[in-house]
């Protein structure tokens, strides 16, 4: 536990990185650490929710608590296109569709704009004030126009509709975007330090659809989300797996603070920082596969390599290349955290 070694949380450390400045040490950053992994490191059962954030984060080198702000009526995921059973993982059925035409578009029950459940966010804000040090709060804005649109259509139908009926795709994206716009405004009225929003738009090899289509249909909403947050004094982190390099300049132009999680098989984070590091921070990049199947000494070596290459000048926070899933080796995750604590470039 890093708190026993002298770690004191300070959200200004992460804010410095988000602002492109050099902090006193490289911050840790994750948007998810599975409960079984937290419990393994703590040595006892870690609670769920904000109680778990409070129990785990300050003890293991994090400067913030992370809260979810779900829609009161979750889009897509509460319907039949996702299937899951006890002990199984959920997946999207790419062949089925809840929206196939204008009639089904009008009939679909979208979340009510401004209906985010802020109870967890407010609990995190209250809890953070009671923790020694200066603990911040980050929160997820859940609307994802691209992901939700293709899930509503089913990915195959979504691709056909991009060609056959692009106005319907735009109508769906805009309907989701309106929910997100209201949600971002609602969230940014809370006493949080940064907002995360995400939209998985890329494979390892490249974008899921042409960058031009992303710019036309979805980036207008990303720009609105970011502008709302920045005008409210909040920093913004965007999450997408895969190779999103073709649209990094678009995110920079929109005013994004940081990009997460920079999959190593998709993008070269060292080259990205050399190219864009004066304008954008980069978070993550420790391969989840390495965290799952590697050895602690391999993880530690990779962490030290990244810190040595990316810490100078600031603009980097270390973490996994996606999330610390339940199949990660807890000792490997601990090795990453300890390497960051011990190593100074």
Dump pLDDT digits (tens) for 2-56. Answer: 888 899 999 999 999 999 999 999 999 999 999 999 999 999 999 999 999 999 9
Order of all β-strands in the sheet with 136-140: 64-68, 136-140, 194-198, 235-239, 258-260, 281-286, 316-320
Tell me the H-state helices in the chain: 11-18, 35-42, 49-56, 102-107, 119-128, 145-153, 155-164, 166-188, 211-217, 219-231, 248-254, 269-276, 288-293, 296-310, 330-342
pLDDT of residue 91: 54
What pLDDT, on the 0 to 100 scale, is given for residue 283?
98
**Domain 2-342 annotated CATH 3.40.470.10:** no
pLDDT tens-digit profile of 123-178?
Answer: 999 999 999 999 999 999 999 999 999 989 989 999 999 999 999 999 999 999 99
pLDDT higher than threshold 70 for residue 79: no
Q: For the whole prediction, is pTM greater than 0.75? A: yes
Using alpha carbons, select from 216, 196, 84 the residue that is nearest to residue 149.
Answer: 216
Can you give the pLDDT at residue 96? 63
pLDDT for the residue 90: 54
- Position 83 scores a pLDDT of 46
DSSP H/E element including 140: strand 136-140
């Amino acid at each position: 536990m890093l708190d026993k070694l002298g770690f004191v949380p300070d959200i200004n450390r992460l804010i410095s990185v988000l602002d492109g400045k050099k902090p006193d040490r490289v911050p840790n950053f994750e948007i998810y650490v599975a409960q079984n992994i937290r419990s393994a490191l703590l040595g006892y059962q870690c609670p769920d929710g904000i109680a778990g954030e409070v129990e785990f984060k300050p003890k293991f080198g994090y400067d913030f608590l992370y809260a979810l702000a779900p829609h009161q009526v979750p889009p897509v995921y509460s319907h039949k296109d996702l299937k899951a059973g006890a002990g199984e993982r959920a997946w999207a059925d790419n062949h089925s569709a809840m929206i196939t035409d204008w009639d089904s578009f009008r009939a679909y029950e979208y979340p009510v704009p401004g209906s985010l459940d802020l109870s967890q966010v407010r609990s995190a804000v209250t809890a953070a004030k009671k923790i020694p040090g200066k603990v911040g709060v980050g929160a997820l804005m859940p609307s994802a126009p691209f992901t939700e649109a293709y899930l509503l259509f089913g990915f195959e139908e979504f691709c056909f509709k991009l060609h056959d009926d692009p106005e319907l795709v735009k109508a769906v994206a805009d309907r989701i975007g309106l929910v997100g716009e209201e949600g971002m405004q609602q969230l940014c009225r809370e006493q949080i330090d940064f907002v995360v929003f995400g939209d998985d738009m890329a494979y390892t090899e490249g974008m899921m659809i042409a960058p031009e289509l992303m710019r036309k249909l979805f980036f207008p909403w990303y720009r609105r989300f970011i502008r709302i947050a920045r005008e409210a004094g909040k920093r913004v982190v965007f999450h997408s797996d895969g190779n999103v390099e073709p649209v990094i300049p678009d995110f920079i132009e929109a005013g994004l603070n940081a990009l997460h999680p920079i999959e190593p098989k998709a993008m070269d984070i060292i080259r990205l920082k050399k190219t864009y590091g004066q304008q954008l921070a980069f978070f993550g990049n420790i391969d989840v596969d390495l965290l799952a199947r590697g050895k602690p000494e391999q993880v530690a070596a990779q962490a030290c390599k990244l810190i040595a290459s990316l810490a100078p000048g600031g603009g980097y926070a270390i973490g996994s290349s996606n999330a610390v899933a339940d199949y990660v080796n807890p000792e490997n995750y601990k090795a990453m955290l300890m390497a960051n604590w011990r190593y100074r470039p």
